[in-house]
Amino acid sequence: MERFINILIIDSIDQHRIGLKEILSGGGNNILFAHSAKEGASVLQQKEIGILLINIEDVGNTHETQLTEINSLGHSKNLYKIALTEDPDAGARLIKGHNHGVIDFICFPFNPTLVKAKIDVFKSLYYKDLRINQLLSNIFPTNVLHDLNTYNKFSPKRIENGVVLFTDFIDFSIKAKKMKPIRLLKSLEYYFIQFDEIMRRYKLEKIKTIGDAYMAIGGVTEDVREPAVRACLAALEIRDLMKNERDIAKALKRDFWEIRIGLHMGPLVAGIIGTNKISFDVWGDTVNIAARAEQGSNSGCITVTSSVAKEIQNYFELESRGEVPIHKRGGSVEMFYLKELKNEYCLYGEGKIASTALRIHCGLSPIDFEHMRKDVVNRLKSLLPEDVIYHDISHTLNVEKAAERYARLEGIDEDDILLLRTAALYHDTGFMLQYDHNEEFAIQMAQSYLPRFGYSEQQIRIISEMIKATESQQEPQTLLEQIMCDADHDYLGRADYSSIANKLRLELENNNRFMNDIEWIEFQLHYLVNVHRYYTETAQNIRLISKKQRISELQKQLEKLKNDL
């Protein structure tokens, strides 16, 4: 698995910069330079830097001045700072005192082996930090993690109007007895992963799974409007997901799982429990009532209590169930079936996708990216001609992945990353209609379909320009367009170049463009040497060396073929 890291070098001495560039280039290292701490501070504000190397003996600056400027920034806590110095004693004193967070030093003139070894160590630590943070963010809500990191504790909080959502698979125990453990686990994992993604999109917080039951909350850990509405949108999406799975299973004459869902809104206490194996949880009568609403629901149905109904009745169609008794607790609660989103709150007044206005009202992004992505991926899977074997769905998904990677290394914000990913997903849709000049059709498709998912005219214009930039003989003008072009040709600098290039050759042959072996290699060399170039600094840093290796390999193959004639 390829891993990438931004490494910033602050040094005004050209000899040092050239030397470090030669030593550290490749291996997923995106090497960035700054002449001064002030210039470096600007880079740190724009991009996520993993390792910082700073010359503490630059002329006109003491190491204290240099490091103080850097330390004044609110940069990533995962940043590893390494001093560059001529004086090993000065470096050792800096490390010993942990001044300004410097954790190691490198002496010049540089020893390439030592420099590589040290950087590899801190790269490993950086990747490990990222993994730990990712795992913690999967376990604890963001605000809980913030309190734990800042105060080393999280104080219990009372929430007056928290929403609790429960799901449960019907007759799970009976079906589980007939299934092998590994198959049972994979089935649960398949559904729970999709539930997790739905919760993330609606800014809800998964609390836990208890066997086949799934529990999530809203209005407790996030500062976002309308938790009840967001929770109901999520519940409808889960219900519809399970309905689709059921219909497919019936058509294929396979077993299927059915679900019931319940929601309640009321006071909660949220906190952390445990010492060695701590967990975040919520307690209160609200949890019990939500569980009862789920248990009392029917197959494929969503039951909400009156407290939820009051919050959502303007937006959703409801059907009264009357008073439902609460076992063990005693008493009863008025409950309703949640049916559908009202037409006036759907995009274009139809379908099941929440309108842009409702999404904005609930504090969600106006763009429904995930539904858009599913729509275009399904179109590509079903409508791309079978002879399009290079510009296939795998290529599209690889371009999307590369575009996101480049964007994050370049410091692009999340909103623009979504536009970039959208352009990547649509850029080859034109092949569904025609092989040549397909970009124009892809743009037309984007302009036709994207408004359905909440994209504005301005956003669609930006996406269209990115798609157009991938057309031959076009020059990308903006950074987003440059990233799009680099992502489209990311494989030119990867180790799997040959296998992907062979797919292109077969695709060209399917379209009556035949070449013998010599012509094919000359065709590749012409493109790699005379036509293609990487535009972004990131792509140049992480792909150019490997691209040159591909060129060298092709030149040797060409020479051998000609000699064999």
pLDDT in tens, 404-448: 999 999 999 999 999 999 999 999 999 999 888 899 999 999 999
Characterise 19 by phi-psi region: left (phi > 0), alpha (psi -120 to 50), beta (else): alpha
Is the pLDDT at 98 greater than 60? The verdict is no
pTM comes to 0.87
Domain with CATH 3.40.50.2300 in the chain: 5-138
The class (CATH top level) of 369-564 is mainly alpha
Which pLDDT value is given to residue 74? 47
Domain with CATH 3.30.70.1230 in the chain: 141-361
Which pLDDT value is given to residue 140? 86
Average of pLDDT values for 181-193?
91
Burial class (CB in 10 A: 0-12, 13-18, 19+), 128: exposed
- Over 483-545, what HEC string results? HHHHHHCHHHHCCCHHHHHHHHHHHHHHCCCCCCHHHHHHHHHHHHHHHCCCCCHHHHHHHHH
Closest to 545 in 3D by CA, of 11, 26, 17? 26
Computed over every residue of the chain, the mean pLDDT equals 90
Yes or no: is domain 5-138 CATH 3.40.50.2300? yes
207-244 per-position pLDDT tens digit: 999 989 999 999 999 999 999 999 999 999 999 999 99
Yes or no: is domain 141-361 CATH 3.40.250.10? no
Is the pLDDT at 393 greater than 80? The verdict is yes
Average of pLDDT values for 278-302?
92
Tokens found for residue 527: 């493109």
CA distance linking residue 428 with residue 443, whole number of Å: 10
> Which residues touch 536 (CB under 8 Å, ≥6 apart)?
406, 410, 479, 482, 483, 486
Domain with CATH 1.10.3210.10 in the chain: 369-564
483-509 per-position pLDDT tens digit: 999 999 999 999 999 999 999 999 999
Which pLDDT value is given to residue 64? 59
Closest to 338 in 3D by CA, of 311, 320, 361? 320
323-375 per-position pLDDT tens digit: 988 876 778 899 999 999 999 998 776 667 888 899 999 999 999 999 899 99
